[in-house]
Amino acid sequence: MPLSSCVVSVLVAVTTSPALACPDPGPDWTATPFLGELTFSGHNGLSDLSMSTKAGGVWNLRDCGLEGEALTGFRGDGLVDIRPDLLLHWRGEAGQLVVGTEFDEDTFLLIHGPEGIWLFDDNGRGHDPLVVIDAPKAGDYVIWIGTHGTTRFTRTGTLLVSQAGP
């Protein structure tokens, strides 16, 4: 399944969402995303999307106490911004929603799903993250791209979004 067929150039910085242990103010999934909003469904002609973006931020994910699928137990240092990178309005009926990145440096993905569940991946595709959501629920998926370590810098790369049929 190809992960990129439509290219949109946009700048982004990374973020995560509010959680009890995050600094105040902490990352906020309700904030305006750097890349904006995108409705993704089988009915609007989009099946694969590739967006140029940047990763990095000021909030350390380790300080946020987030829990969710594949996130519980994360103990490393990873930086995200207060604002998310992308708000994906998922309306498709596809059997899978796939989110990944292509960066020269090591990055991770943090996604806040429509049921309030956190999804996280670091190295699902070699050194690049890949989150595969089977039978994704309709709703909003808020996406952040983070960088490892505690040094505040940004990395340039690509955010990939794809859907697979049932």
Amino acid at 79: L
Tell me the CATH number at 23.
2.60.120.380
Query: For the residues of 20-40, what is the DSSP string, one character each?
Result: TTS-SS---TTSPPSS-EEEE
Q: Does pLDDT of 56 surpass 90?
A: no
pLDDT at residue 44, rounded to an integer: 52
With tokens 């089977």, the residue in question is: 134
Q: Is the pLDDT of residue 102 over 80?
A: yes
Report yes or no on 69 lying in a domain: yes
In a domain, 156, yes or no: yes
Nearest partner of 82 among 22, 9, 36, judged by Cα: 22
Q: Give 152's pLDDT tier (boundaries 50, 70, 90).
A: low
CB atoms closer than 10 angstroms to residue 128: 22
pTM: 0.77
Residue 1 lies in a domain: no
Write down the pLDDT at residue 166: 41
**Would residue 2 count as lying in a domain?**
no
Which residue range(s) make up the domain with 150?
A: 7-164
In the chain, the number of structural domains is 1
> What's the full length of the chain, in residues?
166
In the predicted model, what is the mean pLDDT of the chain?
74
Confirm whether 78 is domain-assigned: yes
Q: Provide the token pair at 88.
A: 């994906």
- pLDDT the model gives residue 2: 43
Give domain status of residue 82, yes or no.
yes
Bigger pLDDT: 79 or 158?
Answer: 158
Asked whether residue 16 is assigned to any structural domain, the reply reads: yes
In a domain, 21, yes or no: yes
Q: Which whole number is the average pLDDT over 42-70?
A: 69
pLDDT level of residue 46 (50, 70, 90 thresholds): low
